[in-house]
Amino acid sequence: MRHSNDYRKLGRTSSHRKALLKNLSISLIKYEKIKTGLFKSKELQSHIEKLITQAKVGDSNAHRQVFAKLQDKSATKKLVTEIAPRFSSRSGGYTSIHRVQNRKGDASPMAIIGFVGQ
């Protein structure tokens, strides 16, 4: 049973998982659509939506908070100035996940995650 399990561990240590989500977030912001494993994309979805909600405020403090999580100047600037203003009228649901074919090598379920309206 999965009672009180808030997140997927993804078979990694906590520092590795944090770095993975940070790098996936930067890639998603940079390319606005990426293909990755289904369970990684589900974890990324909750992570990136929290960042967008913070970035929607648009002030310098929000900019600092987003940069503290991403640690990438260009991705932070793009998120705060371009992506977050697109979702100013939405209260959530900024990303969508679409399943695609399983990976050929190990039959792992794959998915494409991208911003809504792409």
Task: Write the pLDDT tens digit of every residue in 21-36.
Answer: 999 999 999 999 999 9
Amino acid 44: pLDDT: 97
Residue 7's Cβ-count burial label (10 Å; 0-12, 13-18, 19+) is exposed
- Residues 56, 19, 7, 43, CA torsion sign: positive
> Residue 118 — pLDDT band, cuts 50, 70, 90?
low
Quick check: pTM over 0.95? no
| CATH among 1.10.167.10, 3.60.15.10, 3.90.1030.10, 2.60.120.10 for 15-115 | 3.90.1030.10
